[in-house]
Amino acid sequence: MVFSSHVFLFLFLPLFLAVYYLAPERRRSLVIVAGSYLFYAWWRVDFLLLFVAVTVFNWGIGLAIARHGARTAGAKRWMTFGVAADLAVLGYFKYANFGVDSFNTLITGFGMEPFALAQVILPIGISFYTFESISYVVDVYRGDCKPTRSPLDFAAFVALFPHLIAGPVFRYKDLDDQLRARTHTVDKFAEGSLRFMQGFIKKVIVADSIAPLVDQGFALSDPTTADAWLAALAYTAQLYFDFSGYSDMAIGLALMMGFRFIENFNQPYSAQSITEFWRRWHISLSNWLRDYLYIPLGGNRLGTARTYLNLFLTMLLGGLWHGANFTFLLWGAWHGGWLAVERALGVDPVARRFMVWRWAPTFLIVVLGWVMFRAASVGAAMDLYRAMFAFDGLGLSELYAGQISRLQSWTLLLAFAVIAWQGLKPYLLPPPPLPLPHRGDGAAVAWSGYRPLLMSLLLPLFVLAVLKLSAQSYSPFLYFQF
C-alpha cells in the first residue's frame, strides 16, 4: 500500500483515523501498531514476521544493555551483538544478490561455474527500520536515551506507518515524549491535512507527470547532448518532488495523529556547496550518517587526512545504503570526494547571500551525481555522460522529441520555476512578520493565518491530483526501492 493510492485515501486512512480517535488515549499506541502492521502486511504478510522479529529483538537488546549500564563492558557486548545482527539482516536481504552476482562475474572470468542462489526479495522499508533500530541500540548504550520498558511504545516507534517505508529516519528519543503524551487539536489536524495535500500534489501532479520523460530519456540507446541533459534535469526535478512529496505526506499524516516530525528537506537545490546540500537534502539521513558513521569513524578529531577519509567513507557507505549496485557506490564516492575537497579548500558551508558562481557548480555537481544514481548500470551512466559532453547540437533526437508530451514539458518548467522561487525567496524577501513553527519545504503551510487561503488553493489541485491518480495504474515512490 502506498499513500498515493485509492485504497489508502478512501479506505485505510479514514478507517484508521476513525478507530484511532475513537479509542481511549491509553490504547492509541496499540491502534498505531495494529494499523501500521496492516499497512505493511498489505504488501507481503511473510515479511511482516521479519519486521516484528527485528522489532522484538532490538527492544530486548535495549533492555539487556540497560541492565549493565551505559558504556560498560557488558553493555558494549550487547550493543555490538545487536548492531551486528541488524546489519546481518540488512546485508542478507539487501546485498546477497549483489554479492553473489559480483562473485560469479569474478569466477566465470576464470572459467569456473557460477554459484547458484535463489533470488532474494528485498523487503520494503528494511533500510529505514534497520537504521532506526541501530540508532536505538547505540543511543541506549551511549546513555543518550532511556530504554523503554514498554514493547508497545517501541513497536509504535518502529512501525509508525507515516515514516515506515521511506523515512524520515528517526531516533527513539525524537518521539519518546510524543509516544507517551501528545496533543490532538483541530488546528494540528488541519495543518496536517494541508501538508498531506501539498505532498500529494507534488507527487502525483509534478513527479508522476515528469516520470515518463525521465524513463524515456534514460532508455535511449544513442542520446544527443540535448537528450542527455533533458533526461538528467528531468530526473533532478522528479526525484526532489517525489521524495520531498513523500516527506510532506508523512509529516502531514503524523500531524493528523498528533505527532510532529522533523523536516526532511529545506530547498536543497538552492545550496551553494555540497556540504550545504547535505544539510538540506534528506536531512534525517544526513544526521544519521554524521552521528552513527562519521563521528564513530573519528570525525575531524584524528587529523586532516583522516577527516577527509572519514568524509569519503561516510558518503561511500551512504551510497551503498541506497542500493546494492556499483552506481550507488560511485554516487556516494562522488559526493564524498567533493565534501573532502570543500573541507580542504575551507569552503564556508553557510551562504549568507545568493552567489551564482557558488550555486551553479554546486547544482552541476548534484545533477551529474543524479545521473549515476538513476542509471541502471555504470556503463549506462557513462554513455549518458559522454552524450552530455559530446556537444553534438542543441536539438533533441526525433525519437525522444516524439515521445515528449506538452504536459510533460510544461510540468518540468513549472517544477524548476517552483524550485527557483523556493531557493531565491529567502534572499529576495524579508522574513515573515510572524514566527513559523517549522522551517523547510512546508514552512508556509504551517502558518495558520494563511490556512483558508492555502486551503482554497490546495483543495482544487488535490482533487485534480486524485482524478489524475485514477487514470494511472500505479504510483510508487522512488525511495521505496531503498
Distance, in Å, from the CA atom of 269 to the CA atom of 233, rounded to the nearest integer, reads 12
Q: In the chain, what is the greatest distance between 2 CA atoms, to the nearest angstrom? A: 72
Catalytic position from the list 163, 322, 335, 438: 322
Kindly give the interhelix angle for 225-256 and 356-374, rounded to the nearest 10 degrees.
Answer: 90
184 is catalytic: no
The three-state (H, E, C) secondary structure of 196-207, written as one string: HHHHHHHHHHHH
Distance, in Å, from the CA atom of 37 to the CA atom of 15, rounded to the nearest integer, reads 14
Q: What angle do CA 352, 355, 357 make, to 5 degrees?
A: 145
Distance, in Å, from the CA atom of 70 to the CA atom of 218, rounded to the nearest integer, reads 50
Q: How far is CA 230 from CA 94, 101, 141, 409, 411, in A?
A: 31, 32, 49, 10, 13
Q: Are 132 and 58 within 8 A, CB to CB?
A: no
Distance, in Å, from the CA atom of 73 to the CA atom of 64, rounded to the nearest integer, reads 12
Distance, in Å, from the CA atom of 9 to the CA atom of 193, rounded to the nearest integer, reads 12
| Cis ω for the linkage preceding 168 (within 30 of 0) | yes
Distance, in Å, from the CA atom of 444 to the CA atom of 118, rounded to the nearest integer, reads 49
User: Smallest Cα–Cα separation from 315: which of 297, 330, 342, 333?
Assistant: 333
Distance, in Å, from the CA atom of 107 to the CA atom of 110, rounded to the nearest integer, reads 5
User: Smallest Cα–Cα separation from 40: which of 291, 32, 454, 266?
Assistant: 32
Burial of 111 (0-12, 13-18, 19+ CB in 10 A): exposed
464 — alpha (psi -120 to 50), left (phi > 0) or beta? alpha
Residue 385 identity (one-letter amino acid): Y
Q: What angle do CA 122, 127, 132 make, to 5 degrees?
A: 145
Catalytic positions are 322
